[in-house]
Amino acid sequence: MNSTAEWISRSVSRLRAAAPVADKDGAKGPEKLARASLDKSGVTDVVAKVAAPRSTHERLQATLRRGQEALSPRALRRLLADLQAVVAPQVSELEGGRRAQAVAEWYATAKPEERRDMWLLLCEQFAPDATEFKSARQRYEAAAGTAEEGQAEISLRRALVSPRTRLLQRFAVFPDGMRFLVDMRAELLPLLKNDKRLLALDAELEQLFSTWFDVAFLELRRLSWDSPASLIEKLIKYEAVHDIRSWADLKNRLDSDRRCYGFFHPRLPNEPLIFVEVALVDKISPSITPLLDESAAPVDITRATTAIFYSISNTQTGLRGVSFGDSLIKHVVETLTQEFPRLRTFATLSPIPGFRAWLSKNAGAMLDRLDDKRRSELGRAVGFEPPQATHFLAAVDKPLDLDAKSPVRQMLLECAAHYLAREMVDGKPVDSVARFHLGNGARVERLNWAGDPSAKGLKQSYGLMVNYLYDLKRIDKHRSLLAQGKVPASGDIDSLCRH
């Protein structure tokens, strides 16, 4: 009874305080408060006050929900209690996992806004103890160079482990817990840009995943036409480079002269984390068309000398930032070498996804690099002298119509070579695929005209594709060059860049 009376009293008090009372100019309620704020601080402060969401600390102390808040204070307190119960000191890991599973079952039926409230609780209510961390750091700094340094470091490491870490570890205990956490992060990622409060949870999950999904715990497995249908269907679902159009298309990619490998984690046994498609051929492939030709006869793999990695697809959005690709390629190269001792060349046939968008912004700067003779040749080819960026971009819009001797075609190749081998951002190649392969120790080997004449290929890169070469004896050298800000490239690519 007392608690009910107190609640009624507080509610009535709030209602009275919020009742519209006219000021001397006739303004009432919110209008009066807004006018006072405007007089005091200006429009920006009013907008900030209205827009600023309450923290979970404030909401847990409240009685009523406000504005767009999903869970009421009472429901928020109940959810917090359930989360705290997962990591209660006296609870075993197994029991903690069972309680975490109960929370996950609630989460499965929760609305998106309610799930977001749980994320906010994880961020704000399970953060490291700042006072404890500060004290541990001071002890560590004071102990530096003494016999107590080791113990002080242990204390500092323990202070850095947040209750959030232990809570997330308990979620990983129950059978589908890893799947739950990976999917939760995938749902969380798109909201980070607009809600910085969620960054701590994202960083914690990424750090845990980097440990849990370390290559030492992954299994390389070959995927073939004889693999379970449920697993083969995953290839269709997750293929990110060249869409699989039909079962016949998929069967072609798993034929005798092909190999497909994926990394698997024991807690996600039927879900490839990343997979690579490989064609066994007799030379570096210049075009994706024959590789995807379902009617083409299989190559005699006993004569294959070259392995072409023509598609690499990550399957789990929630594992963004966790690197598998470099380890996958190394493991696949080792596996292929054991099976096919004649293989000598390992290369990719890769898209250039950012090229068209980059050129649309930088065509003018590339034209400025031309000497008078080249500028005049290009001008005659596009029908405008001197040629401007708009003229050049219009002329390359239908690249498949350009003949081999066209100055427009030559200029486009030079722009692509410059984009791949010279354009850097923060010391890394600007193109995402280039960044991946060059970071793994490959070099830019060759540009291929009409390598991908599909609508997607034309939209991304005017149909151009590129081969990255993995020279196993020079991988460390190439990485060293990249660390110095120099992109490893073949003589042909460098020649195109110098024109």
Cα–Cα nearest to 228, from 286, 276, 272, 162? 272
Give the integer Cα–Cα distance in Å for 201 and 165.
9
In the residue annotation, 437 being an active-site residue is answered as yes
194 CB burial (10 A radius; 0-12, 13-18, 19+): exposed
3-state secondary structure of 308: strand
- Considering 350, 391, 461, 478, which one is annotated as catalytic? 350
Q: Strands 274-281, 258-264: parallel, antiparallel or unpaired by DSSP? A: antiparallel
Cα–Cα nearest to 118, from 35, 191, 46? 191
Which parts of 213-246 fold into alpha helices (H)?
A: 229-238
Q: Please, are residues 344 and 306 in contact by the beta-carbon 8 Å criterion?
A: yes
Q: Please, are residues 478 and 443 in contact by the beta-carbon 8 Å criterion?
A: yes
DSSP string, 386-413: S--HHHHHHHTSSGGG--TT-HHHHHHH
Q: Is 145 left (phi over 0), alpha (psi -120 to 50) or beta?
A: left
Q: Write out the two tokens for 497.
A: 């860049």
Give the integer Cα–Cα distance in Å for 223 and 276.
10
Give the integer Cα–Cα distance in Å for 473 and 344.
11
> Does the bond joining 290 to the residue before it have cis omega, within 30 degrees of 0?
no
- For residue 287, the one-letter residue type is S
Cα–Cα nearest to 379, from 407, 401, 398? 407
Give the integer Cα–Cα distance in Å for 65 and 62.
8
In the residue annotation, 461 being an active-site residue is answered as no
Q: Write out the two tokens for 19.
A: 């009742």
Q: Could you tell me how far CA 184 lies from the centroid of its own chain?
A: 14
Residue 260 backbone dihedrals phi, psi, to 5 degrees: -135, 125
Cα–Cα nearest to 392, from 419, 417, 373, 374? 374
- What is the distance in angstroms between the CA of the first residue and the CA of the last residue of the chain? 87
Q: Write out the two tokens for 56.
A: 């979970």
Cα–Cα nearest to 479, from 442, 433, 424? 442
3-state secondary structure of 267: coil
- Considering 311, 437, 461, 478, which one is annotated as catalytic? 437
Catalytic residues: 350, 437
